[in-house]
Amino acid sequence: MLSRIAESMFWIGRYVERAEDTARILDVQTQLMLEDPTVDEAAACRTLLSIMGVPYDDDTDMTRQTILELLAYDANAPGSIAAALGAARESARRARETLSEPMWEAVNTTWRALPSGRFRTLRPPAVFGWVRDRAALVNGTAEATMTRDEGYQFLVLGRSIERADMTARLVATAALTSSSAASAWTSTLRACGAYEAFLRTYRGLETDRGAAEFLLLDRLFPRSIVHSISRAEQCLDNLESGGARAGFGNDAQRLLGRTRADLEYRSLSDVVANLPAEMERLQYTCAAATDAVTRRYFAGSEATEWHGGAL
């Protein structure tokens, strides 16, 4: 496959997932700000921007509306939902000959809400639901209409790495706010679409430790970090057609596999003792794995500028 096409497929997966998960994080945080009168809004906004890797001026008056502008509506803000949807459409345009017609239409019609002004007319929480629905349409159309060839593998690889990264940000957000908001973990589970699955798995017993374990380590839930990393590893294995006879010649596989094993084989107590730091380390791993994928598969193609990396 041409490296240009492979790279475009990879970034479609990442940008669509980034838009969806940013909407999920904003949904959680804005609800917490509204429901808990003890929350320091300015401090919560700065914490959220730090977690999302978005630089800000300390002198700026931080409010809920400021956050919505920087992370949702402003297409010129590199970490925003609007910017991610625009970048996904541009990547899809470059890979137009590879995408199925329904897949292209799903991405393009989603993007058209931006220049038309419709996206800005949507207000919370409706805007977050709209983004989740459009991402589900794009991903569902890909699953239903794309051949499981290299293009599909790169699409799912990008989506899986981004999902692991963004779930780590959600977990870090919950860990930082749980001391001041008892519902932080419940809200985070709901944001991931995991609340009902979590209750069934833990037989209705809700604890912060159980929620963290579920989002980090559950092998069956598709948005857990371990499941996302495992899916990325499988895509890389498929692209390598079985891989090397001994060890791993693919640096991305090595990085992801080592991180997954570290999470699974360490005691949960060690991991949750300092969740924000652990999640920051995982974000660095996702960034390093992306660099490794770029070096191995996209050499010679025009590099994609990526914003919103690890802290």
CB 124 within 8 A of CB 26: yes
94-111 tens-digit pLDDT? 999 889 999 999 999 999
CA dist 284 and 279 (Å) reads 9
Distance of CA 220 to the CA centre of its chain: 18
* Model confidence band, residue 261 (pLDDT cutoffs 50, 70, 90): very high
The least confident of 142-146, 205-209, 285-289 is 205-209
- Tell me how far apart the alpha carbons of residues 309 and 161 are, in angstroms, rounded to a whole number: 12
Residue 197 Cα distances to 18, 27, 207, 223, angstroms: 23, 19, 14, 11
Q: Using an 8 Å Cβ cutoff, are 155 and 146 in contact?
A: yes
Of 302 and 90, which is predicted with more confidence? Answer: 90
Mean pLDDT of the chain: 89
| 23 contacts 109 by C-beta, under 8 angstroms | no
In this prediction, residue 300 carries a pLDDT of 60
- Confidence (pLDDT) at 310: 46
pLDDT at 311 over 60: no
For residue 56, how many C-alpha atoms fall within 13 Å in the half-sphere facing its CB?
24
Q: How many other C-beta atoms can be found within 10 angstroms of the C-beta atom of residue 127? A: 20
Is a pLDDT exceeding 80 seen at residue 301?
no
Burial of 202 (0-12, 13-18, 19+ CB in 10 A): middle
pLDDT score of 182: 52
CB atoms within 10 A of CB 117: 8
Given a cut of 90, is residue 59 above it in pLDDT? no
Question: Which of the residue ranges 1-10, 107-116, 234-243 would you say has the lowest mean pLDDT?
Answer: 234-243
Reported as a pLDDT band with limits 50, 70 and 90, residue 48 is: confident
**Predicted confidence (pLDDT) per residue in 107-155, tens digit:** 999 999 999 999 999 999 999 999 999 999 999 999 999 999 999 999 9
Cis omega (within 30 of 0) for bond into 125: yes
Task: Tell me which of 110 and 307 has the higher pLDDT.
Answer: 110
Judge whether residue 255 has pLDDT over 70: yes
- Which tens digit of pLDDT belongs to each residue from 177-190? 755 555 778 888 98
The model's pTM:
0.91
Share of the chain above pLDDT 70, in %: 91
- Express each pLDDT in 158-204 by its tens digit: 999 999 999 998 898 888 775 555 577 888 898 888 999 999 999 88
> 117: alpha, beta or left, given left = phi > 0 and alpha = psi -120 to 50?
left
